[in-house]
Amino acid sequence: MTSTSLQDSAGTAIPVPPAAKKIPTERTHHGETFVDNYEWLRDKESPEVVEHLRAENAYQEAVTAGQEPLCEAIFQEIKGRTQETDLSVPHRKDGWWYFSRSAEGKEYGIHCRVKAQDTGDKVADWTPPAVEAGVGIPGEEVLLDGNVEAEGKPFFSIGGTAVTVDGTLYAYAVDNAGDERFTLRIKDLRTGELLPDVIENIFYGVAFSPDGTRLFYTVVDESWRPYQVKAHVLGTPVSDDVVVFQEDDAAMWLGFELSADRRHLVLGIGCSEYSETRLIRFDDPAQEVTTVISRDERVLYEAEPFLLDGQERILLTHNRGAINSMVSLADPAELDKPLAEQSWQTVVGHSDDVRVNGAGVTATHLIVSIRKDTIERVQVMGLAGLGTSAQQEPVEPAFDEELYTAGVGGSDYSAPVIRLGYTSYFTPSRIYDFVLPTPEQPAGELLLRKESPVLGGYDGSDYVATREWATAGDGTRIPLSVLRHKGVKQDSTAAGLVYGYGSYEMSMDPGFGIARLSLLDRGVVFVIAHIRGGGELGRHWYEDGKKLTKKNTFTDFVDATDWLTRSGWVDPARIAALGGSAGGLLMGAVANMAPEKYAAIVAQVPFVDPLTSILDPDLPLSALEWEEWGNPITDPQAYAYMKSYSPYENVREVAYPRIAAVTSFNDTRVLYVEPAKWVQELRNKTTGSQPIVMKIEMDGGHGGASGRYVQWRERAWDYAFIADALGATELLPGAGLK
């Protein structure tokens, strides 16, 4: 099943795409039968399927051979702007500072630590040590060298690490296939030796019990849903591991964490619409599991148990009577009553303009994450008087940009500071420590610990980011982030790229991207469309773009494209679209809806056959998708609605633009078969002459291949495909590496 080539009149070879054979498979639901000619491509163990996928790669390589110099140039620009020998800012946990180093020519990070000091000066003791590239710190220990671990392996990813409170044992989980199933090992940091305990096929996340005798981890079921939390007693056979909790509802996701003060194991069970938290006290000999609010109440919430003035309290971030969520304080005794009779104290009230995303505690302060005017913000207040009339006013670290992202990057329960991450479209990522407010310093203090260096003469003032608004067909205003090089003129001649996601209440927040500079330097106006289905404007924004309102996501994207067309910045014939995963479904939908509006479309790991996947609850994560898209198995209306926009099932006879579907063979979230089927059907139906290609990473997962250099090349390929299609291959005068 390899592709061959023809010749044009000039004798130039024209590659011919591989054509998969048609084996009709019928799928019947709600009285409707769909004939799928390419479902057989799902058998990844079939040599014929693998041969076909390799033929797709060969075709893609032939079609895109002309963009290789541009791809290489973009890769070198990414590499030239990146400080390859770099390090993270150390973060303190218990008595140690933990950090990572990256070295030039090395694909993976090296994870290290050094002993912390306790002098009695809390702020000084929580000031991270200065770490220099290539220079060791006295007493520095290497916990894990990713380059050594990855040697000889096709893939390498870490799915979780944990250290015992006393700092003697280090657990780490490694994936060498890209399928997000990890092998857990434990290293004795006193000797450097590995313990005999090895646990296979675990999911993300590991944690030691406070006494260091047990290790908690998560296991997925056959549909790749995390459904068990298990406990391994060190030194015992893995076969004896105890199931701490098992979640049997196929539509619910299970996870765990330790409470901030490490007195409880917190089990989180939920979907995007409601949840349930169960608690286990580590000092309870019976290890009794208590439920905070039953899932039967259909409340979406998170719970954090902690001590307030020596009294047990539970901090609740919840949507009970509050669509944008709020924060309340509850006495555990209240939870024994029927929900309607419980009395909670309001800590952060509900607002139609502010989305409360989460809340946590340190020993002295409450930390709240909110979203206002699309921007993620952090607020803190002292625990004294919490939930009473004496509650303190929130304090918010102040930043001086309009469009930015600030979030808690980690905090230790006993620390006098919280770690914040900050970035904007043209400000490289910064790490701050925010000294928590005290009576002597009521505004707190923001301490810059690091700004990621950008090499190659980067100057953020060469670029412009503005907030614009498109108007949807129903009158809804859609926020856009419009990024451009200052050298681009508003004369309707530039190239444009529209990016979107619009699902799962995920917000496309401002963030710096080195690779994106290569497009901007070539005069591409980059528009991020904050469409419905995301979370930028609160819970309503999400709910207006899911289930039976999902098409708002797609029409919003087209309306954002129309804004760009009319903006005066771009040539309407030079616009491309980009999106990945659920954003890949978006790409498939807009390709069918408005193919004439785009010169090129890149769909990364695209969810383009959603109906087939969600109709089969045995496929990975399918049942978990019902809350997002509806349940087409039991609901004829949901089936008909999904049928009306499913990209694979709505390919039609029109001139499609140049399309690239980028995927990975071992992706467990969006299976490679979806884009493989989609490109076949696109080629069958298109009346145009533009190539439709599939690029498949045979050793990668949902995030593509592992290793930073390989990932840079993948991004360079995507951007070169777009720039080549838009005729935006030359750098603007004065742009590029300096």
The catalytically annotated residue of 88, 369, 507, 581 is 581
Give the ranges where 487-574 is alpha helix by DSSP (H). 514-520, 539-543, 551-566
Give the ranges where 87-201 is alpha helix by DSSP (H). 122-125, 146-150
Q: Is 538 exposed, middle or buried (0-12, 13-18, 19+ CB in 10 A)?
A: buried
Tally of CB atoms within 10 A around 406:
25
Tally of CB atoms within 10 A around 352:
11
Instruction: Give which of 686, 737, 730, 714 is closest to 17, Cα–Cα.
Output: 686
- What is the phi/psi pair of residue 84, to 5°? -70, -30
The catalytically annotated residue of 369, 667, 706, 718 is 667
8 A C-beta contact, residue 249 and residue 274: no
All residues at 6 or more sequence positions from 388 whose CB lies less than 8 Å from its CB, including other chains: 345
d(CA 605, CA 714): 12
d(CA 615, CA 236): 41
Q: How far apart are the first and last CA of the chain?
A: 47
The catalytically annotated residue of 264, 485, 530, 702 is 702
Q: How far is CA 672 from the centre of its chain?
A: 19
Query: Tokens 């921007």, residue?
Result: 375
Q: Strands 301-308, 289-291: parallel, antiparallel or unpaired by DSSP? A: unpaired
Angle at 231 between CA 228 and CA 236, to 5 degrees: 130
8 A C-beta contact, residue 189 and residue 171: no
Tally of CB atoms within 10 A around 436:
23
Is residue 166 among the annotated active site residues? no
Is residue 702 among the annotated active site residues? yes
What are the structure tokens assigned to 434, written together? 């925010």
Query: Tokens 């009473």, residue?
Result: 388
> What DSSP string describes 511-535?
---HHHHHHHTTTEEEEEE--BTBS
Query: 208 pairs with which residues across the strands?
Result: 215
Q: Identify the DSSP state of 391.
A: P
8 A C-beta contact, residue 99 and residue 131: yes
- What is the phi/psi pair of residue 277, to 5°? -115, 135
d(CA 469, CA 450): 33
8 A C-beta contact, residue 563 and residue 688: no
d(CA 464, CA 569): 13
Tell me the residue ranges of DSSP E strands in 658-731. 658-664, 692-697
Is residue 667 among the annotated active site residues? yes
Length of the chain: 738
d(CA 326, CA 348): 6
d(CA 599, CA 580): 18
Q: Which helix (H) or strand (E) holds 572?
A: strand 570-580
What are the structure tokens assigned to 513, written together? 């991207």
8 A C-beta contact, residue 468 and residue 459: no
What are the structure tokens assigned to 120, written together? 């009695």
d(CA 383, CA 381): 7
Q: Is 368 exposed, middle or buried (0-12, 13-18, 19+ CB in 10 A)?
A: buried
Point out the residues that are catalytic.
Answer: 581, 667, 702
